[in-house]
Amino acid sequence: MKQTAIFAGGCFWCMVEPFETQPGIINVVSGYTGGHVETPTYEQVASHTTGHTEAVKITFDSDIITYKQLLEIYWQQTDPTDAMGQFQDRGDNYRPVIFVNSEEQRQLAEDSKKRLIESEQFDAPIVTKIEDAKPFYPAEEEHQEFYKKNPRRYALEEEQRKAFIDKNWK
């Protein structure tokens, strides 16, 4: 069955590939959500005046990959202890958020966050928010599938995230 998930975990450029390469993923779109400005631009979101955060909207076949599996992938792409951005990306537009679109997603997200807290994997508190999904606005075309279009720049953007993942999640 076709479903959607919306995750924010820093720069959306680095959030596409980990999901897009999984079986059962139909589409991953980079965009903006959570704010008060309709159809914002990249420049507006980067100005920290829209309330939006960069996020990815994932369309998936839940018969092949479950929302619970997507949550596991999500956690392992982020620093869940950093509320004001991710890695080199600083500011509220890079905050980590799981945007849920149903009570079932909320419960699964809350349960996964609770398991992470109880694991005591991190010394600092887990600060990733779980919020109701808001309107999602796709980003401009140049931001879609950035890892394929700009592999060198993507590799540079990904360095800190990759080092964190290797240290904390592998």
Residues with catalytic roles: 11
- 77, 15 in Cβ contact below 8 A? yes
Tracing tokens 């982020």 back to the chain, one arrives at 78
- 144, 30 in Cβ contact below 8 A? yes
Residues 6+ away with beta carbon under 8 Å from 85: 10, 91, 92, 94, 95
Residues 6+ away with beta carbon under 8 Å from 37: 44, 49, 50, 51, 52
Count of CB atoms situated within 10 Å of the CB of 97: 20
φ/ψ of residue 50, rounded to 5: -100, -15
